A and B are shown apart, each in its own frame.
Chain A
Amino acid sequence: MTLSGSDERTGAVGVDELARRIRVHCVEMTARANASHVGGALSAADILAVLYGKILRFDATKPDWPDRDRFILSKGHACTALYAALAETGYFPLEKLETFYADGSPLAGHATHKDMPGVEVSTGSLGHGLPLSTGMALAGRRDGRAYRVFCLISDGECNEGSTWEPALFAPHHSLDNLVVIVDYNKIQSLGRVEDVIDLAPLADKWRAFGWATEELDGHDTRALESALERVPLEAGKPTCIVAHTVKGKGVSFMEDELLWHYRAPLGDLLDRALAEIGPPR
């Protein structure tokens, strides 16, 4: 698998079309299941599309390939976006997405690895992804393997002490094969991040901890691709991308609304959401 072989993995669609499809799946899965967390899945959709469309080295037919890049969705509640990306890139049939939340299905409401090729680890309890990712990066480094580990965390997760423990550890060990991307959508469970536990200045915090850090618009797929193609941003340092995003991005009535951390788009709202996400590009 080549680094930029996006065509074969996304069925000849571009990153923006992959992002659109991920959004469609997120909204449909959430509606079908009457589930939560569509807002945080939509905020991450462009990041996942760039990773799976352009950046990650993987072979969907060999999910255990030892040299694959690892993607860890630490914000496991955004799992619809991950499941969608995996289905669209060939890990399993698209029809499987229809079993999200269903009795007996492996597609749980938080990212779950059991019987799910491509889901590296189970997450959902916040603050677990970065320690796990750090261990994978350290093992890869010591094994002399070239794989990278990309870990997507939420802003709410930056409240967890267990996020900051590896944030200290990884730079000390010069793990430049580790990349954390913060989906900074500014809304957490009970309110706006700035009102709950303000993270600002977030990029400065990661810099101060020793991470090569860049801020960008997490919905600008060109900017995401350009930054992620350059990792490590500095040799000898882990990389942090603070991606400024909008919760519910792509569906106007969900955008920047706390309600859509919880609510499922049912009936007319589903039709409106799909219309806004739009036809294939």
Chain B
Amino acid sequence: MRNAFLNELYELAREDPRIVFVTGDLGFGVVEGFMEELPDQFVNAGVAEQNMTGLAAGMALSGRIVFTYSIANFPTLRCLEHIRNDVCYHDADVKVVSVGGGFAYGSMGATHHATEDLGVMRLLPNMVVVAPGDPVEARAATRAVVARPGPCYLRLGKAGEPVVHEEPIDFELGRALGVREGSDATVISTGGMLPLAVRAAAALAVDGVDVRVLSMHTLKPLDDEAVLRAVDETRAVVTLEEHSIVGGLGSAVSELLAERNGARARFKRLGVPPRFSPRVGSQEFLLAENGLDVETIGATVKSLLEPAP
């Protein structure tokens, strides 16, 4: 996703001199081309995320479309109030980009686990929150956020994620993408959980359970309609996120459903408990530790479909 984003941004920046890429001294091996070809549209803010963010807002208020870029929690939590006041309050055209959302930097330790970013960004007024599900969505999202003026948070994985969308997609901010049809249950996925959602749905199909998969690439504004269709048309809804179950996709869907009395489907959030990971490990290891695997998703869907005791 990182490379898809950078390649797309590079292309867009060549066409549009307003686009500026501001990095917090990260991107070794992947940003040098941009830096060399478009020096007037590149800034290395150094290891100084508060200034990176305020500076980006200042540039945006002077007519630029500015991307700030760093990894894990550095471009978000480290400089949160600068995002709130400088970017969001001024409705500045700043796109905050984090590479390595979730457990992408799993072995590096809990400091590098970005598992609250979506929730925190979702709280901020004027902020659009986007977590693409695969490299194809990452490219489309990059183009979409440039076309939409105003603050945005773009949460990316690292590199090497599988492509889920083999066909061209009709990407629109705020509108979930249907990845698989299904009538028994729905798995709503955000960010890099999409391939896992698709694999879990395929495994459930073998057992005769027909699962719909939605890629909720935009967490805010949430596609309420797609969620409500899922609870009306299927009997179980599971949210899937590489993020705390507090504040992110599961919370957003819960909030919607709680105020819609009489929702038909049963509902469960799958994600990370609100805690620091007691152990480090690879992304796969930590996902499995938190029940983000095909088996747990399958068991959860099946149990929701069982008649209530």
Contact = CB atoms under 8 A, between A and B. Distances in A.
B82 A139 contact: no
A135 B54 contact: yes
Interface stretch (A123-131, A208-216, A250-258): A123-131
B56 interface: yes
A132 B63 contact: no
B295 interface: no
B13 to A, nearest CB: 13
Given A131-B50, A166-B51, A169-B45, A121 B62 contact: no
B62 A169 contact: no
B90 interface: yes
B51 A121 contact: no
B54 A131 contact: yes
B116 interface: no
A247 B62 CA distance: 33
Given A128-B54, A135-B57, A139-B58, A162 B82 contact: yes
Interface in B50-92: 50-51, 53-64, 66, 81-82, 85-86, 89-90
Contact of B82 (A66, A122, A131, A140): A131
A131 B62 contact: no
Given A162-B54, A166-B55, A169-B55, A132 B86 contact: yes
B43 interface: yes
A115 interface: no
A122 B85 contact: yes
B95 to A, nearest CB: 14
B46 interface: yes
Pick from A120, A127, A133, A165 the residue with the most CB of B within 10 Å.
Answer: A165
Pick from B48, B62, B81, B90 the residue with the most CB of A within 10 Å.
Answer: B62
Interface residues of B, number: 26
Interface string B77-114: 00001100110011000000000000000000000000
A83 to B, nearest CB: 18
B25 to A, nearest CB: 12
A168 interface: yes
B86 A128 contact: yes
Interface in A112-168: 113, 120-123, 125, 127-128, 130-140, 142-143, 161-162, 165-166, 168
Contacts of A121: 57, 61, 86, 90
Contacts of B61: 120-121, 132, 135-136
A66 B48 CA distance: 28
A139 B54 contact: no
Q: Classify the interface of chain B: helix, strand, loop or mixed.
A: helix
B58 A168 contact: no
Contacts of B45: 169
A134 B59 CA distance: 8
A88 B307 CA distance: 73
Contacts, number: 87
B63 A131 contact: no
Nearest to A133: B58
Contact-residue size bin, chain A (C-beta under 8 Å from the other chain): 20 to 34
B40 interface: yes
Nearest to A149: B58
A130 B53 CA distance: 11
B51 A139 contact: no
B58 A134 contact: yes
B48 A165 contact: yes
Contacts of A166: 51, 54-55
Contact of B50 (A137, A143, A165): A165
Interface in B8-24: none
Pick from A123, A135, A162, A169 the residue with the most CB of B within 10 Å.
Answer: A135
B89 A162 contact: no
A79 to B, nearest CB: 15
Contacts of B81: 125, 128
B51 A138 contact: no
Given A121-B61, A134-B51, 14 more contacts: A113-B90, A121-B90, A127-B50, A131-B50, A131-B82, A132-B58, A135-B61, A135-B66, A137-B58, A139-B64, A142-B40, A165-B46, A168-B46, A168-B48
Interface of B: 40, 43, 45-46, 48, 50-51, 53-64, 66, 81-82, 85-86, 89-90
20 contacts: A113-B90, A121-B90, A128-B81, A128-B82, A128-B85, A130-B54, A131-B86, A132-B54, A132-B86, A133-B58, A135-B57, A135-B66, A136-B59, A136-B62, A138-B55, A138-B58, A162-B54, A166-B51, A166-B54, A166-B55
